[in-house]
């Protein structure tokens, strides 16, 4: 990927960014588009990017990479925004287990508490 200096970045049209209003995720070529998809997925997983923003960046990157529609992206082997969101979703909270179950001191059977056999 070619280095993007501050001068070159300033010359890029606003429409060539993944998020034009913020001028972030530049995509002047295919290498930058591929990189923008990867960085956007990382930011989504970290919780710093919303799902609509991820969708917008992914659609734009797929267009630059030559696959305008989700069906065309699938044919070319590119990930769509939906699959990226599923794959990079923040982890769900785990079910809290009571201390008694965690340490195995008692077992519950049919509504009554019974001492666990050792």
- Report the pLDDT value the prediction gives residue 104, as an integer from 0 to 100: 58
Q: Answer whether residue 114 is part of any domain.
A: no
Q: Answer whether residue 116 is part of any domain.
A: no
d(CA 20, CA 16): 7
- Banded model confidence at residue 68, pLDDT cuts 50, 70, 90: low
Task: Give the domain range for residue 40.
Answer: 11-91
Give the global pTM: 0.59
Averaged pLDDT of the chain = 77
Residue 56 has pLDDT above 90, yes or no: yes
> Looking at the 3D structure of the chain, how many domains does it have?
1
Q: Answer whether residue 21 is part of any domain.
A: yes
Please list, residue by residue across 50-59, b when 16 or more beta carbons sit within 10 angstroms of its beta carbon and e when fewer do.
Answer: eeebbbbbbb
Name the helix (H) or strand (E) containing 73.
Answer: helix 70-76
> pLDDT over 90 for what percent of the chain?
36
């Amino acid at each position: 990927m070619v280095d993007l200096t501050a001068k070159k970045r300033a010359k890029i049209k606003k429409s060539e960014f993944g998020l034009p209003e913020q001028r972030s995720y530049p995509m002047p070529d295919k290498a930058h588009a591929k990189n923008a998809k990867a960085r956007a997925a990382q930011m989504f997983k970290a919780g710093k990017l919303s799902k609509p923003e991820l969708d917008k960046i992914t659609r734009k990157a797929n267009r630059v990479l030559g696959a305008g529609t989700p069906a065309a992206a699938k044919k070319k082997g590119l990930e769509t925004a939906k699959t990226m969101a599923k794959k990079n979703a923040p982890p769900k909270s785990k079910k809290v287990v009571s201390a008694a179950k965690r340490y195995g001191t008692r077992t519950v059977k049919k509504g009554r508490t019974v001492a666990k056999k050792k």
